Structure 1
Amino acid sequence: MSKTKKLIRQIHLWLGLVISLPLIIVAITGAILVFERELAPVAAPMLYTNHSSPEKDFYPVDDIIKRVNSQAQNQVIQRIYLEADSSRSVLVQTADLDGVRHVYAVDRYTGEIQTKGVLNKQFFRVVLGLHRFLLVGEVGKMITGLSCFGFVIIIISGLILWVPKKIKNAKQRLKIKWTASSKRLNWDLHVVPGFYAALFALALALTGLVWSYKWYEGIIYYATDGKPKPSLRQENESTTGSFGNFSMDKLLHQVNQTFPFNGDIRINIGDTLNNESIMVQKVNLESLIPNQGSFVYFDGRNGEKIKTVPYDQLTTGTKVRRLVYPIHTGSIFGLPTKIMAFITCLIMASSPITGFFIWRGRKKKKGKRELK
């Protein structure tokens, strides 16, 4: 083995040992989150699924807001989620005076509040907290971010180490020999799946870095738009009157008239202290391109439309950035890529374990040689 390859192997080995625990946690939680949309109604049926027989009309959103406000003492509504799937509950997110976020699940046919609770205590929020922060806040975010960078290096170094001296020997590294010794089988389980999953794992790692580092996210915009990330914030145009003096249902009617496609809707209630407007986003579920969102901004005082931003008018950088989530979660091409992402996460989780046994086996072998 050349000196260069020896150095690469040492980097691959020790970097793998250092980030092994965070990598296992991130990979396992990532595998769970791949199927969050499918598993959420099973994990928390009271939070995601209506429990009444579907009636002719949806319960008015204005009345849902009133019901939530009556129970959400000292809380402010921040977001309202209305999924295109009519079997899903309306989710209303609030924040209390301490900044703790709460979620209310409302039956969209009866307006009944089915359940409520602290948002970050919900099952998939806990899993996401582990995935992104290891449940230890900014310190965890730093660890997962550095581990993600380290994993990119591990993937690249692993591909270099995979290449045999003689091309004819590559065939041995393309399939697992199940009848081999335990030592050889462990080596195969590390090398073969790792090779097949390398490109998928690299895509997951590179997109994951977007949530860890603002400067990394900024590269997307500078590379495509030649300028920083545009702000989604829009101020209200009116300067007088109280906030919320309008019908939210009328606003939604305007949004659906402007964008008549089938889609999920998210209402962002602007920060009134900073004079922020209401932003309604509708994600087109009929498009082949995932996460294709269009926006309508309304004045938070009188409900007047301020501006409309269809997906086609978004900058190239914004469009590319919106692809990061479906790539990272494997949802970009539906179930096939979700399954690929799930399998890749399992391979990522197993690689530090099989890698450790390879290292331990070589260490034992070296120790025996020294004794002789």
Structure 2
Amino acid sequence: MAKLSNKFWFKLHGWFSLPVWIIFCFVCLTGTISVVSHELTWLTNPDSRASNPQNLAEKPMSELVEIVQQAHPTANITTVMSFESYLVNAVIFNDSDAPFAIAYVNQYTGQIQAINLGMTFTNFMRSLHGWLLFPWHVNYSVGYYIVCFMAIVMLGALVSGLVIYKKFWRSFIQPKLRLNQGKKTLLADLHRLAGVWSMWFLMLMSITGLWYLTQAIMWHNHIDLEPHAPLIEASQVPTSANDAPIRPYTLSNALQVAEQKFPGFKSTYIMLPEHNRDTYKVYGQGDHIFYDQYAYGVTVNPWSGTIESERSPAAMTTLQTLSHIADPLHYGTIGGLWTKVIWFIFGIFLTGMSITGFLMWGSRTVKAGRTDLDAPLATHSPQLVEQEGN
């Protein structure tokens, strides 16, 4: 009965991995690259580097918007984003000759270093990893569901693998890697060692992946995690017979409101009003390392300067908290570059495990096929074999 049980778990472990091996391996690989996509951008694109040889103070985002507006007077600026301290800020706008453009603005010098008219490397890798570039149908993507389903595959492979590998904890104190006993033994040792040392990472990726799956289902069923930013009452908007009214409160005022509301606030994502009843949406990060860079925020009325709505970890529901801590845990941004390196290394381990597992399965399949071919020769007379061949 024990042998039957082991055989069952072994087959289950294989079925959790092999039928979707290519997709699983691809998702692991693209996710590993996505973890260090900002660093790869810095290495490969000089225009993205926020050099600061004179140790200048960082300019506020409102000043960066003014710089881009002066350089492109007819542009409609919609969004401003900041990333790592060594990467430029992105000012997104559209113009008559550019339906979508990103100005790379050095936040220290104020220089526009480039205008990008396409998708960035980071966005491409996150999209490839997140939903395999499948199209979105309003509120869902088949590719997003496929990627999220890999969390179930990963969790099943982890549980079944631990059941198969008896006394797995010995790999922590007595790691075994036999280099001189053949390819099959080496692959098995690598697979087991990587699996045991990556247990925490596998569990973390599975849990965050299951949350993404839950989030996808809620999106698909029109369940909003965050309340929509309120519209300003029409009565608060002044009317003008000739020109459009000028907003008395600027983006600079909105940033000051956010900084006064949340001490230590650093803006990372800003959306400018799209119409007269819209607000300044100012989001950023605070002193909670486990929350993403959008966990704090306010929407500010451009006509009165008042806060229409606000966001902070202290006021979040359980689902909102999960949505804001999932990305830092999934991509390893909680501790900056050091945790990114750790996530990158274990991402390589995870990708390697999928490859070694497939190679082991392929070796056993070929061996089993050869055994089946040799079996008739060993169990039948030459005359019968000849008749069966005819």
How far off its partner does 1:229 sit?
A: 2.7
Specify the alignment match of 1:234 in structure 2. Answer: 230
Q: In 2, are the aligned partners of 1:89 and 1:108 still within 8 Å (CA)?
A: yes
Once the two structures are superposed, residues 16-53 of structure 1 have per-residue CA deviations (whole angstroms, 9 ceiling, x without a partner) of 12221122222122222222344433233313425785
Specify the alignment match of 1:142 in structure 2. Answer: 145
How far off its partner does 1:67 sit?
A: 2.8
Structure with greater Cα Rg: 2
How far off its partner does 1:60 sit?
A: 7.2
Q: In 1, are the aligned partners of 2:267 and 2:282 still within 8 Å (CA)?
A: no
Say whether 1:125 aligns with 2:127. Answer: no
In structure 2, distance between residues paired with 1:212 and 1:100: 33
Specify the alignment match of 2:270 in structure 1. Answer: 267
Q: 1:168 to 1:127 in 2, by over 3 A?
A: closer
Specify the alignment match of 2:260 in structure 1. Answer: 257
Q: In 2, are the aligned partners of 1:43 and 1:123 still within 8 Å (CA)?
A: no
Q: In structure 2, give the amino acid aligned to 1:136.
A: F
Specify the alignment match of 2:32 in structure 1. Answer: 31
Q: 2:284 aligns with which of 268, 282, 285?
A: 282
In structure 2, distance between residues paired with 1:315 and 1:173: 45
How far off its partner does 1:320 sit?
A: 3.3
Specify the alignment match of 1:16 in structure 2. Answer: 17
Q: In structure 2, give the amino acid aligned to 1:357.
A: L
Q: 1:335 to 1:48 in 2, by over 3 A?
A: closer
In structure 2, distance between residues paired with 1:276 and 1:76: 15
In structure 2, distance between residues paired with 1:190 and 1:56: 49
How far off its partner does 1:197 sit?
A: 0.8
Once the two structures are superposed, residues 127-180 of structure 1 have per-residue CA deviations (whole angstroms, 9 ceiling, x without a partner) of 21221122333343233233333222222222222226xx99989994322232
In structure 2, distance between residues paired with 1:266 and 1:326: 16
Question: Which has the bigger relative contact order, CA under 8 A and spacing at least 6?
Answer: 1
Q: 1:211 to 1:270 in 2, by over 3 A?
A: farther
Q: 1:113 to 1:336 in 2, by over 3 A?
A: closer
SS at match of 1:175: coil
Say whether 1:107 aligns with 2:106. Answer: yes
Moved over 6 A (4+): 167-173
Q: In 1, are the aligned partners of 2:271 and 2:282 still within 8 Å (CA)?
A: yes
Once the two structures are superposed, residues 306-348 of structure 1 have per-residue CA deviations (whole angstroms, 9 ceiling, x without a partner) of 3444432333432333211111012334455433322221122
Q: In 2, are the aligned partners of 1:237 and 1:306 still within 8 Å (CA)?
A: no
Gaps of 5+ in 2: 136-140, 239-243, 376-390
Specify the alignment match of 1:222 in structure 2. Answer: none
In structure 1, distance between residues paired with 2:196 and 2:129: 24
SS at match of 1:322: helix
How far off its partner does 1:185 sit?
A: 0.5
Specify the alignment match of 1:202 in structure 2. Answer: 203
Q: Which TM-score applies when normalising by structure 2?
A: 0.76
SS at match of 1:135: coil
In structure 2, distance between residues paired with 1:156 and 1:244: 61
Q: Which TM-score applies when normalising by structure 1?
A: 0.79
49-58 vs 131-140, which moves further: 49-58
In structure 2, distance between residues paired with 1:57 and 1:49: 10
Specify the alignment match of 1:81 in structure 2. Answer: 81
Specify the alignment match of 1:346 in structure 2. Answer: 348
Gaps of 5+ in 1: 219-226
Identity in percent: 21
Q: In structure 2, give the amino acid aligned to 1:114.
A: Q
Q: In structure 1, give the amino acid aligned to 2:315.
A: Q
